[in-house]
């Protein structure tokens, strides 16, 4: 198949993880120093640098363990 190859996913990248509900900013420690912000429609955005795919899966496991509803996971390649 032609086209561009997929970029390597093991390099660090900034991610924005959006979940339903308002997560207490004191929970930031659960998310390896990610910043926590809230949207006007009662969602929480967790933003921060993820070193590799294993770390991303660990963060998503914490979202699951807290019983949070995952809305989106966005990788921002330009931020690194």
Each residue's pLDDT, cut to its tens digit, for the chain (80 residues) gives 566 665 555 789 999 999 999 988 777 778 878 999 999 999 999 999 999 999 999 999 999 999 999 999 999 976 44
What pLDDT shows up at residue 5? 61
Q: Decide: 42 and 73 in contact? Cβ < 8 Å.
A: no
The CATH class for the domain spanning 13-79 reads alpha beta
Where in the chain are the domains?
A: 13-79
Tokens of 54: 């294993």
**Prediction pTM value:** 0.80
Max CA pair span of the chain: 47
Query: Taking the alpha carbons of 28, 49, 67, 37 in that order, is the dihedral positive or negative?
Result: positive
What backbone torsions phi and psi does residue 3 show, to the nearest 5 degrees?
105, -175
What pLDDT shows up at residue 11? 82
Tokens of 32: 């390896």
């Amino acid at each position: 198949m032609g086209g561009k190859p997929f970029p390597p996913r093991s390099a660090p990248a900034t991610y924005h993880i959006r979940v339903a509900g308002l997560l207490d900013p004191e929970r930031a420690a659960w998310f390896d120093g990610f910043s926590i912000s809230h949207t006007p429609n009662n969602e929480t955005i967790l933003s921060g640098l993820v070193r590799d795919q294993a770390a991303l899966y660990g963060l998503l496991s914490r979202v699951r363990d807290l019983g949070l509803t995952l809305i989106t996971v966005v990788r921002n390649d330009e931020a690194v």
